[in-house]
Structure 1
Amino acid sequence: MSPGPRVSPGVRARRARTLPALFGLLVGFLAGGPVTSADADASAATAAAPATVPYDWKNVRVDGGGFVPGIVFNRSEPGLAYARTDIGGAYRWQESTRSWKPLLDSVGWDDWGHTGVASLASDSVDPDKVYAAVGTYTNDWDPGNGAVLRSTDQGETWRKAGLPFKLGGNMPGRGMGERLAVDPHDNRVLYLGAPSGKGLWRSTDSGATWRQVTSFPNPGNYAENPADTSGYASDNQGVVWVTFDESTGKGGGRTQTIYVGVADKQNAVYKSTDGGGSWTRVGGQPTGYLPHKGVLDAENGYLYLAYSDKGGPYDGGKGQVWRYATKSGEWKNISPVAEADTSYGYSGLTVDRQRPGTVMVTGYSSWWPDTQIFRTTDSGANWTSAWSYSSYPNRENRYTMDVSSVPWLSWGAHPTPPEQTPKLGWMTEALEIDPFDSDRMMYGTGATVYGTDDLTEWDDGGGKFTIRPMVKGLEETAVNDLAAPPSGAPLFSALGDIGGFRHTDVTKVPSLMYTQPNLSTTTSLDYAASNPNTVVRVGNADAAPRIGFSTDNGANWFAGQEPAGVTGGGTVATAADGSRFVWSPDGAGVHTTAGFGSSWTASKGIPQGAVVEADRSDPKTFYGFKSGTFYVSSDGGATFTAKASAGLPAEGPVKFQAVPGKKGDIWLAGGKAGATYGLWRSTDGGATFKKVEGVQEADTIGFGKAAPGASYQALYTSAKIGGVRGIFRSTDTGTTWVRVNDDRHQWGWTGAAITGDPKVFGRVYVATNGRGVIYGDTAARRSR
């Protein structure tokens, strides 16, 4: 199982799972001059908000669920560490609670790409300062440019400097780095390695403005797949890391010697000895590989480099580890395993600052049977590994794993040796030893952050160190759908990459994701309105089955059969009483079944790819929508009839829901900026729709328990109302709205799903693209 990249609307590239919205971001700059943006708080709204109701916001707990490509410890303040994610923002470690705090929840809808963090840098001169290079894609999936965010309060608030190019927090090569670095002596000076052939950039005013370093000779030339017409795999991965030799500077003066790694298999490592004024290729360096990491041990005078033949984080078939002596210029191959015996590249790389000469590196792309971690205590002369074969296929591990705090990391798997569960990891490109504590180490995987507090047990011949999840508070799932039934579990989620969960308590980590079938990504789910024990879910998998059913409110599942031609999950709906289902899968037309999918009948009168939903009162009535036309079936989905749908959006994604207990009462949200866009209601089963006044844009619609004294359910939407983007609630059938989020709680793109809680007035669950499921309660309710 491997979390993959998540991309923009309508894009279904390899491993693409979720659908953030597009936006336009204008960045002005002067040719050859400094690049900056309006120096404003990154969370500032552009217009006065409508009335706001105070809310408290928390995550529905999953703990992890996505790729963590970077972990950065501060070198001068004990316990201060940061983590970056590919689409879910940045986090700061909180030692007192041993948890992570999200730092970029203020990123708004128009800047959704800034939830992808390409690099992080923590200032060792002033530990209150931290920087984040943000931007999700370098191709047109993200039409906005990247930026460097800077904070003087450890990420509590940010200011933004725009860049004249894109950054790729979720692009190939995102595990290399760090691209962003602060001079350890003159902290006004920062460097940023750019992708896409944009070269090396420098700031001399603490990140407020940036200029290209025109003397730097090589912008890189490696692309994963130059023939990829989407621009995703064909992008030049560029300048990938910057490392300062702190022994060559003094406090207040610029560090003189700087090393830079470039995605170029022949000319990978460059050096400046005059504070970045001039640059030369380091002589004698190895060729044929990409330098994923470059970490310098200034005390011993060694620059360590982890190489792979590919950019990662998925690919890599060969690799090497090298040591460069900064004084003599000697290069030495110190690879833990001979190249001929490897099937993976190296990336995760760290030095023990308390015990110079102790170095660790990961075989990040060792997928089977497991990732591998290596350790040396003598600067690479000798290595030991986290696991080895005692007698194939049996393994001997130097560690034990305790995933009791996040039990789903077992995946419910029962692998055949030499595979084990839980796995040590995959995509292990982030690896750091705490610079103040030789016993603490953290590393990122494709699903979590693992760590240990007794690492030096590794070096005791008879001891074992213990690996546990260190991921509490870091929520990185991409959410496709949500359901909150009136009885049973309070919440079902459809998630990218790890399938989704039945939450019986949103404050606790579930024991396991959905299984039987185990879908890599769940795209849609539904429950029977009058019989919530009946639940259906569909999603993506390498092969059938791609649909699962439950008759006990999701506690247990069984797989169904599928019609011919299915390639992906699409959308699914269950009759109000659970007697039948309508499925609109990818690759095949809309189908209906009585019972639990033992056989399917193609529906008539509705096009392939239509979004389908069920009436929440009449078990024979189903609805569909595609390209501006609304469809209705009154015979259980066997036949659909197109309705007069004038005025509904013909472009852009559309979500719609039927109100529980009210036949034919339908709300529809969606559209496209610059075209038809908004919120509509039908009270006659889709025969006619009326646009809701005052709602300029809307992307989701959901229902929750009615307000005290009200007879109609509360409405929730992610929308633009009164010129302001936010999460809104109406308790009077859409006549008036209040904003329930604020500028510090925006979470980038929230256009996939929303639902209120049918049992708790005011509670709303919000789907995000990389920050998991957020839920909010009115502040008054929480205070009681």
Structure 2
Amino acid sequence: MKLLSPVKYEYGNLKIGGGGFVTGITFHPTDSKTLYIRTDIGGIYRYDFDKQTWAYLADKVTADDPAQTYPLAIALDENDPNKLFFTCGDKRSNYICISDDKGENIIQKTLPCSVHGNEVGRATGDRLIYKNGRLYFGSQTAGIIYSEDMGESWQNIDLFGEKNISLIWTNSEGKLFIAGCSGEANSPDGVTRGHTLYCSTDGLKSFVPLTAPDPVKYENSSYYGFVPQRITSDSRYIYITFASSGEVFYGGMGAYACDTGSLSGGKVYRYRIENGVTVFDKDITPEDHIPCGYSGICSNGKMLLLSTVCRKNGGDMIYTSTDSGESWKIIMNRLEYSRFDWNIPYMKPSYNGGGNCVHWISDIKFSPFDSDTALFNTGTGLFMITGLASGDVLVKPFCEGIEETVHLNVYTTPHGRNRIIDIIGDLGGFAFEDYDSECENSFANENGDRYITCLNADLTLSDPEYIVATPRGNWTGKTKGGLILSKDCGSTWERLPMPRGLSEFIDKKLDNIEKPNVDSGWTAISADGKRIMWAVAGGRGFSNKAVCYTDDEGKTWQKSIFTDSSGNSADEHNVKIFSDYYNSDLFFAIAERGNLGLYISRDKGATFREVSIKTDIKCPRYAHYQLSRQPDKSGVFWLANGIKGLYRFEIKSDSVWISDILPKDRINCIGFGKGLEETPAMYVTGNISGEYGFYISDDLGESFARINTDRQQYGVIHSICGDMREHGVFCLATGSHGLMFGRQKSLAKP
């Protein structure tokens, strides 16, 4: 293999706008042009006030160390707006990050505790404070720690043994310190939380309990007790919001925010300072009888803003108060009380069951420099409120530049009305006409109701208008998961009938797919477009005992049979099904069971027989890998397993030839696009000759050229695909910064 000189590329996003969970908002208290947000999987953004767009600060993060894409807390220096501190981690790598130039350059220092910005509890805060040369961090796993030497070393502050901290706060003088926690360490019975709110007035030498709501045994709650969510203050009072977890599916007592989608109750308490001591003043919880937590709260000295979080049967609400919480006025509830400007197409109510897509409001902040304006976070991006002073309230997405979505697969078409087919978590999928056009809606049914979280799609080279995909049904139940079909290149979709009656095993999986937010499976379509195959999931994984096919768009179904190399019934294991681009009778299946297994079908997927492979290619269950068919040849496909090597498979009449093109390197993703001549261009991500990056090969792996720089990394990449119509253009399905494309600078538009 020959490594060529790097090729200069420009990168951009195929715009979606927002899409993921913004977990916190941080204004600088004195500099009007310093504003940050943190996200759960998309890193940190700084707002560029001059360009009026959000600037992504994790573009240098690689797939080998993606910790910065999972930030948990932000702190600023009130005396130096150029300073930025944040904690982040993926549990394996955990850092305090420090920048002297607003995030343009970042120094990482290892934290002595486990951190994850996309774990339960991520929505509360703040957890990081910089004050008088000290950094204080309220961690998820080690309690409160502090550093006096910019993160070089850390000391512990005991909070009665509590390890999971939900917030820390100090007043402007730094003499009063308040901390919230999960209450797990002092639980009397493993179900009821211990005390969760404490106060220190002696420089954190000691803490005393601060009045908090007593635990309530809500129906369907896994744990009882209120956890502090957010805190704010004005010249008279301190205000703290609380939430009590509902049914917890994961995370144990650490699930105290909106992370499991369920909160049973909430409170808002007001406190005052009396003789230098914080004392409880009043319960100022709004009179709203629908179960929910309370989380976002802020004050501008004249008005309070408050949000519910995980409010059942209607979505979250926002309140205002001009009398320190004595009374509350609703300014947003569903689509009522406020005007809305849905400036991002997929967020329109018509694509969300007629309702408001706003949910998981865990943080809300007044602009310190414009009392008429505030920002609030959601599970699908950032929103702005204006008109607060006049009462003519306008709510609109504030997401320009924010691309925080997890993309699972991406495909390009050789012709047809749409050029890029995007498979995405939560939002389902998008079909883009070109690289500059914004989609009107993601994959939806005939009523405009969205499907969510597709795992894959398939199309033919001869008729790319005809596409199948495997989505989940959405959270509202207005769409059901399964197999969907488009006859207009992904613009509209119809759900195919389910393959019931083939076996009790498959029927149970189909029952599960009917529930909201359940994986539906993996699909493939024959080269002539006449046979559709479906490896039914109904949960995690695609069993070879649940593979079926249809020749009449789901009116009738047949079950595929898998045998081992001797012709005996194969043991059950995970498989993914793929078709050949040219031979309509040829399908193959990759078996996920530690080492790779390969099945071949020569009767259009009716039967699959295992082929003996003398190789130790790793293909663990549920592991990420990308398989791409070579678009100019029948029976040739390539595999990047993210562990070692880059493998070429060629299916012959009675055997499979396998060669490892890069035996010393680790390739994560592989895809093909239009070549310079007849040979397709190959694009890969991974480490070649010790250097991580994105690479192009115009000679099927005999030589590679790097096509990104150290500032063009973009975190975890799940899939790569070359443009089938234009050489030198390709797409990246990222796990943190949306759907991206790269284009050679010589091809870039002026």
> What TM-score, normalized by structure 1, do the two folds share?
0.82
5+ residue gaps in structure 2? 184-192, 216-224, 246-255, 500-506, 514-518, 564-571
Bigger Cα displacement from structure 2, 559-568 vs 357-366: 559-568
Q: Structure 1 residue 75: deviation in Å?
A: 0.7
Cα deviation 1:83-117 (Å, max 9, x = unaligned): 11111111111222332111012122221243111
Aligned to 1:318: 265
Aligned to 1:421: 355
Query: Does the 8 Å CA contact 2:385/2:396 hold for their aligned counterparts?
Result: yes
What are the within-5 Å matches in structure 2 for residues 515-554 of structure 1?
Answer: 515-516=444-445, 518-541=450-473, 544-554=480-490
Kindly provide the amino acid, as one letter, of the partner of residue 574 in structure 1. Answer: I
Aligned to 1:12: none
Query: Does the 8 Å CA contact 1:261/1:294 hold for their aligned counterparts?
Result: no
5+ residue gaps in structure 1? 1-48, 137-141, 221-235, 249-254, 389-394, 459-463
2:49 maps to which of 82, 90, 95: 95
Whichever structure has more strand as a proportion of its residues is 2
Kindly provide the amino acid, as one letter, of the partner of residue 339 in structure 2. Answer: T
Q: Aligned equivalents of 2:315 and 2:50: distance in 1?
A: 32
User: Cα distance 1:281–1:267, how it changes in 2: closer, same or farther (>3 A)?
Assistant: farther
Aligned to 1:597: 554
1:409 maps to which of 339, 347, 355: 347
Q: Structure 1 residue 559: deviation in Å?
A: 0.6
Q: Structure 1 residue 637: deviation in Å?
A: 0.9
Q: Structure 1 residue 648: deviation in Å?
A: 5.1
What are the within-5 Å matches in structure 2 for residues 7-406 of structure 1?
Answer: 51-136=5-90, 142=91, 144-183=92-131, 186=132, 188-196=133-141, 198-205=142-149, 207-214=150-157, 216-220=158-162, 238-246=164-172, 248=173, 255-264=174-183, 265-276=193-204, 278-288=205-215, 289-298=225-234, 300-310=235-245, 311-313=256-258, 314-328=261-275, 329-338=278-287, 341-352=289-300, 356-387=301-332, 397-403=336-342, 405-406=343-344
Work out whether 1:658 is the aligned partner of 2:629. yes
Q: SS in structure 1 opposite 2:72?
A: strand
Q: SS in structure 2 opposite 1:546?
A: coil
2:581 maps to which of 605, 611, 616: 616
Cα deviation 1:258-283 (Å, max 9, x = unaligned): 2222222543222333333x122244
Q: Aligned equivalents of 1:697 and 1:100: distance in 2?
A: 33
Query: Does the 8 Å CA contact 2:694/2:707 hold for their aligned counterparts?
Result: yes
Q: Aligned equivalents of 1:414 and 1:428: distance in 2?
A: 17
Query: Does the 8 Å CA contact 1:484/1:757 hold for their aligned counterparts?
Result: yes
Query: Does the 8 Å CA contact 1:98/1:470 hold for their aligned counterparts?
Result: no
Kindly provide the amino acid, as one letter, of the partner of residue 656 in structure 2. Answer: A
Aligned to 2:742: 776
Cα deviation 1:681-717 (Å, max 9, x = unaligned): 426477111110355112221111102xx32100011
Q: Structure 1 residue 743: deviation in Å?
A: 1.7
Q: Aligned equivalents of 1:714 and 1:732: distance in 2?
A: 7
User: Cα distance 1:327–1:507, how it changes in 2: closer, same or farther (>3 A)?
Assistant: farther
Q: Aligned equivalents of 1:728 and 1:396: distance in 2?
A: 47
Q: Structure 1 residue 725: deviation in Å?
A: 2.0
Query: Does the 8 Å CA contact 1:443/1:450 hold for their aligned counterparts?
Result: yes
Query: Does the 8 Å CA contact 1:545/1:561 hold for their aligned counterparts?
Result: no
Bigger Cα displacement from structure 2, 577-586 vs 606-615: 606-615
Bigger Cα displacement from structure 2, 432-441 vs 620-629: 620-629
Q: Aligned equivalents of 1:748 and 1:192: distance in 2?
A: 25
User: Cα distance 1:645–1:307, how it changes in 2: closer, same or farther (>3 A)?
Assistant: same
Bigger Cα displacement from structure 2, 561-570 vs 146-155: 561-570
Q: Structure 1 residue 540: deviation in Å?
A: 2.4
Work out whether 1:699 is the aligned partner of 2:647. no
Q: Aligned equivalents of 2:642 and 2:123: distance in 1?
A: 35
Query: Does the 8 Å CA contact 2:35/2:46 hold for their aligned counterparts?
Result: yes
Over the matched positions of the two proteins, sequence identity in percent amounts to: 25
Q: Structure 1 residue 783: deviation in Å?
A: 6.3
Kindly provide the amino acid, as one letter, of the partner of residue 504 in structure 1. Answer: E
Q: Aligned equivalents of 1:262 and 1:50: distance in 2?
A: 54
User: Cα distance 1:771–1:382, how it changes in 2: closer, same or farther (>3 A)?
Assistant: same
User: Cα distance 1:776–1:218, how it changes in 2: closer, same or farther (>3 A)?
Assistant: farther
User: Cα distance 1:596–1:283, how it changes in 2: closer, same or farther (>3 A)?
Assistant: closer
Q: Structure 1 residue 491: deviation in Å?
A: 0.6
Cα deviation 1:603-628 (Å, max 9, x = unaligned): 12266531111111122211211141
Kindly provide the amino acid, as one letter, of the partner of residue 239 in structure 2. Answer: Y
Bigger Cα displacement from structure 2, 539-548 vs 449-458: 539-548
Work out whether 1:430 is the aligned partner of 2:363. yes
Q: Aligned equivalents of 2:371 and 2:160: distance in 1?
A: 37
Q: Aligned equivalents of 2:161 and 2:7: distance in 1?
A: 49
Query: Does the 8 Å CA contact 2:181/2:196 hold for their aligned counterparts?
Result: yes
Query: Does the 8 Å CA contact 1:584/1:609 hold for their aligned counterparts?
Result: no
Q: Structure 1 residue 402: deviation in Å?
A: 1.1
Give the count of matched residue pairs.
672
Q: Aligned equivalents of 1:491 and 1:695: distance in 2?
A: 33
Q: Structure 1 residue 671: deviation in Å?
A: 5.3
Aligned to 1:232: none
2:638 maps to which of 667, 670, 677: 667
Bigger Cα displacement from structure 2, 366-375 vs 536-545: 536-545
2:441 maps to which of 507, 512, 518: 512
User: Cα distance 1:649–1:335, how it changes in 2: closer, same or farther (>3 A)?
Assistant: farther
Aligned to 1:757: 723
Q: Aligned equivalents of 2:583 and 2:382: distance in 1?
A: 46
Query: Does the 8 Å CA contact 2:197/2:228 hold for their aligned counterparts?
Result: no
Runs of 4+ aligned structure 1 residues displaced above 6 Å come to: none
Q: Structure 1 residue 411: deviation in Å?
A: 5.8
Q: Aligned equivalents of 1:292 and 1:285: distance in 2?
A: 8
Q: Aligned equivalents of 2:492 and 2:178: distance in 1?
A: 55
User: Cα distance 1:83–1:181, how it changes in 2: closer, same or farther (>3 A)?
Assistant: same
Q: Aligned equivalents of 2:232 and 2:656: distance in 1?
A: 69
User: Cα distance 1:100–1:414, how it changes in 2: closer, same or farther (>3 A)?
Assistant: closer
Cα deviation 1:348-376 (Å, max 9, x = unaligned): 11111xxx142111111114212111111
Q: SS in structure 2 opposite 1:605?
A: strand
Kindly provide the amino acid, as one letter, of the partner of residue 738 in structure 1. Answer: A
Q: Aligned equivalents of 1:408 and 1:613: distance in 2?
A: 31
Q: Aligned equivalents of 1:593 and 1:381: distance in 2?
A: 63
1:687 maps to which of 642, 645, 656: 656
> What TM-score, normalized by structure 2, do the two folds share?
0.85
Q: Structure 1 residue 650: deviation in Å?
A: 3.6
Cα deviation 1:379-422 (Å, max 9, x = unaligned): 1122111247xxxxxx883211110x21111264475xxxx523
Q: SS in structure 2 opposite 1:477?
A: coil
Query: Does the 8 Å CA contact 1:270/1:279 hold for their aligned counterparts?
Result: no
Q: Structure 1 residue 545: deviation in Å?
A: 4.2
Cα deviation 1:191-236 (Å, max 9, x = unaligned): 100112x11111223x33241333x32343xxxxxxxxxxxxxxx6
